A = this chain, B = another copy of it.
Amino acid sequence: MRRIYLDHSATTPVHPRVAVVAMNYMMNDYGNSSSVHAPGRKAAEAMDEARARVAEFVGAEPREIIFTSGATEADNLAILGVAHAAGDRGNHIITTAVEHHAVLHTCDALEKEGFRITRLPVDAEGRVDPSAVEDAIDDDTILVSVMLANNEVGTLQPVAEIAEIARARGVTVHTDAVQVAGQLPVDLAELGVDLASFSGHKMYAPKGVGFLYVRRGTRLKAQMFGGHHERWLRAGTENVPGIVALGEACVLAQEEIDYVTAHLTSLRDRLIAGLEERIPDVFVNGHRTERLPGNVNVCIPGVEGEAMLLHLDMKGIAASSGSACTSGSLEASHVLLAMGIKHEIAHGSLRLTLGRDNTAAEIDYVLETLPPIVENLRAMSAWKPGDEMPFED
């Protein structure tokens, strides 16, 4: 069966060039970078080079890159690290209602410790208003955390504007930049943030590695204790194969970025246009233009997300749904709800996220395959778009 992977926001395949690098550092150059001997020094040098490559890719200095096990850890380190380093300087954190759970649940944990959390609302397209950040800042504010692009609906946030506002008030700024890496160029110095989280497995590097950008001078407390690794900010034997592979993935991403941005954008627009043409009542979630090139997210009223996914899967198409129906939680997407979408509609979201290897022919196959699935599920549904809801909230 034809297999079409359209879930690149969940994870990406490791690029062969990147996997070969990882393999080498697992089997041949497997030294521990803290060791004095040749295998150890080789690992240390490879890691230094990877750090330089990663830094170059995001417009930072090598010493500003702290490798972690992924973006969940990077988000946690940024938020807990700033909070726990704040001391008497304040206990108020501003974030948005549409952040990834790695940010939101970390803020929840801090709230239980006594921190005050402001979760800013978003508009119907998922954007936060920079002036709302300005209004929310008070003398106790120590951190603003706003994602660069939303992982569900692809909306880009005005992070540069927000960073300017916050930093003018002396407030540290963090952004979860996970989804942008490899899709759009990133220049952190220009963006003006103090902290930014990235994940390897969203950009054709392996799972289990990511990094936190920490602008020189940012006050941050380590959250994991042990060895002297990563300038004492993150203990633990470094994942050398993962880190070196991530360095390679950054080089690759940088080489290809113009092509990839254009390629994803064209596939995205083809897919959106096709869905709008072929599926009655479908509508696009998120901002039309301030949007990740690789993100298509729609609601299809009258159909539940998981049911669509299962049918698509049987046709070889791997997609996802905001409903995260099987992911432990059965709740509708907090992102779609924050954008003002009703529960029953939010349960019918479909996310198709594109990657560098997808083709126009694959998009066309999706456009042929999906409409009959929707028709079939709608025919079976206990309610129809346009009808009054026959079930009680």
Contact = CB atoms under 8 A, between A and B. Distances in A.
A36 B72 contact: no
A322 interface: no
Nearest to A325: B36
Contacts of A72: 224-227, 235-237
Interface stretch (A57-65, A139-147, A203-211, A266-274): A203-211
Contacts of A319: 37
Given A37-B317, A228-B327, 13 more contacts: A13-B28, A14-B27, A22-B23, A35-B320, A36-B309, A37-B312, A38-B313, A69-B69, A72-B236, A102-B227, A206-B239, A207-B238, A227-B328
23 contacts: A7-B31, A7-B40, A13-B30, A19-B27, A36-B309, A36-B310, A37-B318, A37-B319, A39-B318, A69-B69, A70-B236, A70-B237, A72-B225, A76-B224, A101-B226, A102-B227, A105-B225, A105-B226, A206-B239, A206-B242, A223-B223, A227-B327, A228-B327
Interface string A230-246: 00000111111110000
Contacts of A87: none
A131 interface: no
Interface in A9-64: 10-14, 16, 19, 22-23, 26-28, 30-32, 34-40
A34 B10 CA distance: 9
Given A14-B26, A36-B306, A69-B73, A108 B237 contact: no
A32 B309 CA distance: 15
A329 interface: yes
Nearest to A35: B10
Interface string A95-131: 0000011100110110000000000000000000000
Interface of A: 3, 5, 7, 10-14, 16, 19, 22-23, 26-28, 30-32, 34-40, 69-73, 75-76, 100-102, 105-106, 108-109, 199, 201, 206-209, 223-228, 235-242, 306, 309-310, 312-313, 317-321, 324-329
A19 to B, nearest CB: 5
A13 B241 CA distance: 11
Residue from A19, A71, A207, A325 with most neighbouring chain B CB atoms (10 Å):
A207
Residue from A37, A69, A324 with most neighbouring chain B CB atoms (10 Å):
A37
A38 B318 contact: yes
Nearest to A30: B13
A226 B102 contact: yes
A73 B236 contact: yes
B7 A35 contact: yes
Contacts of A321: 36
Contacts of A7: 31-32, 35, 37, 39-40
A290 to B, nearest CB: 25
A242 B208 contact: yes
A66 to B, nearest CB: 13
Contacts of A105: 225-226, 235
B241 A206 contact: yes
Nearest to A323: B36
Contact of A227 (B38, B69, B101, B326): B101
Given A32-B10, A207-B242, A109 B225 contact: yes
A46 B272 CA distance: 34
B10 A40 contact: yes
A244 to B, nearest CB: 11
